[in-house]
Structure 1
Amino acid sequence: MGPVRGFRRRKRAAKDAAAAGQEGGDWWVDFSRRITGHLSLPEEPRKFESVFKISRTTFNYICALVRDDMMSKTSHLAFADGKILSVEDQVAVALRRLSSGESLLNIGVSFGVNQSTVSQVTWRFVEAMEERGIHHLKWPTTQEMEDIKCKFEKIRGFPNCCGVIGTTHIMMCLSSADTSNVIWVDHEKKHSMLLQAIVDHQMRFRDVATGWPGSMNELSVLRSSGFFKMCEKGTRLDGEEMELPEGFQVREYIIGDSGFPLLPWLLTPYQGKDLSDAKTEFNKRLSATVAVAQSALAKLKDMWKIIGGEMWRPDKHRLPRIILVCCLLHNIVIDLEDEVRDDALSSHEHDTSYKQQLCNIADNNGVMLRDKLSAYLSGRLPP
């Protein structure tokens, strides 16, 4: 895939930030001394990466992104010894909180600050990232989309495919005694918030929607999303059609699992038993392609463990913003080609305790598109 718009500029900014950090002395030397003995750290040179799960270059780039916003607020946030927290210190605290999922108390003890400081710093970071990092999560430009469609066709043969959609549950520990929390109870009788994401072939998030309670299913979340409304209006997935053999025209579309409806712009698997060879082959190819979204969600929750575990009574108004920032950080790691991300487990599991839900809604135009593509992929259409 070609570079995301502004990618080279961001790469230069990352290098400039790294150089600036080196010129001003190595912040990490002083900071690591503060946490030595509190955290179990391996030997250099992986020490920094083991704490923050990203490279120094990516860390410096993130600091450069949020520096102005975080410094614009006068603050007396300090370590226990009275030293004022620099921007790097604040970003380090926030990233550790988001990546480890540890409690405010544990983070505070590890880094030598009180838990209220951890809370304030993390939220200031989230606000700054929402403002300064949002350009890392955009729907592809026309040229980018051509590259994405080409790559998806190479994965399992789907022509004119623009992405994969998936949904995951962000677990929450809420009081069952509070009757207002019943809306957050999902089909597995757990409290959760839903995240819907559309990803490209590189597992980059291209559209995310979150904040809906676990009591909703994938269909309800999809219909409530801005993406659905744009697709229905014809203002998204509205690129040029591709012509297959026999003159069949294939519009732009995305792919999802059987929890989603079959629509003219959203293809899902065939359901039922005793499927024909062509339908079985279609399902295999689709499942392999959907795995891209499953892997992206698994990596998101594995790397940013604050949303990967069960959050203790979170602020449900702030949680969607935290989820968004984790998605932005996920994309930044990809955009900057951070090699540390390659160490992450290549698992597809992100909702391990959840059973696959089924949606039986099928639009006639979607049925026709799926049948034609099934025939095409099985080689029944002439070359």
Structure 2
Amino acid sequence: MGENGSLLVQALVDSEGRFLDVSAGWPGSNKPEDVLKRSKIFSGLRIQRSDSCYPLLPWLLTPFNDKHNELSSSEMAFNEVHHSGMELVRTAFTKVKKRWKLVGKKWKEQCIEAFPFVIVSCCLLHNFLIKCSEVLPEENGEGCRGSEFPVFDGEDNENGKRIRDALASHLSRVSQRT
């Protein structure tokens, strides 16, 4: 258990809101980048997007840091697309929390070791319900509100920077045409 009694869950979600990978049960005191480095997804699957609490790598693209409001139009375009991708994750978790309310409740200490299995099971059931075209709870933004991610303060990878810059430039050109 973390300092605030929370457990971290890391997930990869596709464009339909299905969970492709879930790693649950990390103490809330862990940093997101430490959870990533110890997860199966880090050594196996190469993901395309991430939140800014993770390091920028060639296969893990994080948003541009906007701490001084000095982003170019291409960097802002990239961040907008990135934000849309992160909304898919938030929406998927919101739906899981709405359908299975026990996920969002405080658990008794003696039950806490089952929590990661319950989370993964709920995510798998969520995927199954999507596949069966079941109606999911309506999204209204509740559930994951207030779960802001810390900003990664480590060193960015140079190849990651070049890839992100090229993608941002491409997105800027595409958005100017439309």
1:358 to 151, 156, 170: 151
TM-score using structure 1 length: 0.43
Q: Provide, for residues 187-240 of structure 1, a one-character-per-residue CA deviation record: whole Å limited to 9, x for no partner.
A: xxx21111111011110011111121110121111111011022xxxxx33xxx
TM superposition shift of 1:348: 4.2
Give distance in 2, aligned partners of 1:256 and 1:317. 27
TM superposition shift of 1:322: 1.2
What is aligned with 2:85?
289
Alignment length (residue pairs) = 172
| Structure 2 counterpart of 1:206, one-letter code | L
Give distance in 1, aligned partners of 2:14 and 2:110. 30
Give distance in 2, aligned partners of 1:316 and 1:261. 30
TM superposition shift of 1:309: 2.3
User: Retained in 2: the 8 A contact 1:295–1:349?
Assistant: no
| Structure 1 counterpart of 2:151, one-letter code | L
SS of structure 2 residue aligned to 1:317: helix
What is aligned with 1:301?
97
Give distance in 1, aligned partners of 2:140 and 2:56. 26
Is 1:367 aligned to residue 176 of structure 2? no
TM-score using structure 2 length: 0.88
Give distance in 1, aligned partners of 2:140 and 2:51. 17
Q: Provide, for residues 102-143 of structure 1, a one-character-per-residue CA deviation record: whole Å limited to 9, x for no partner.
A: xxxxxxxxxxxxxxxxxxxxxxxxxxxxxxxxxxxxxxxxxx
Is 1:199 aligned to residue 17 of structure 2? no
Distance 1:368 1:298, change over 3 A: same
SS of structure 2 residue aligned to 1:208: strand
What is aligned with 1:258?
52
1:325 to 121, 130, 141: 121
User: Retained in 1: the 8 A contact 2:48–2:59?
Assistant: yes
What is aligned with 2:24?
210
The 5 A counterparts of 1:1-383 are 183-185=1-3, 190-230=4-44, 236-237=45-46, 253-272=47-66, 273-338=69-134, 340-341=135-136, 344-361=137-154, 362-379=156-173
Identity within the alignment, %: 34
| Structure 1 counterpart of 2:2, one-letter code | W
Give distance in 2, aligned partners of 1:363 and 1:206. 25
Give distance in 2, aligned partners of 1:334 and 1:200. 12
Give distance in 2, aligned partners of 1:349 and 1:198. 20
Indicate the RMSD between aligned Cα atoms, in angstroms.
Answer: 1.9
Give distance in 2, aligned partners of 1:348 and 1:219. 25
User: Retained in 1: the 8 A contact 2:93–2:144?
Assistant: no
User: Retained in 2: the 8 A contact 1:294–1:349?
Assistant: no
Give distance in 2, aligned partners of 1:217 and 1:349. 24
Greater RCO, CA 8 A, separation 6+: 2
Give distance in 2, aligned partners of 1:323 and 1:301. 10
Give distance in 1, aligned partners of 2:33 and 2:140. 25
TM superposition shift of 1:295: 0.5
TM superposition shift of 1:323: 1.3
User: Retained in 2: the 8 A contact 1:195–1:211?
Assistant: yes
User: Retained in 1: the 8 A contact 2:90–2:144?
Assistant: no
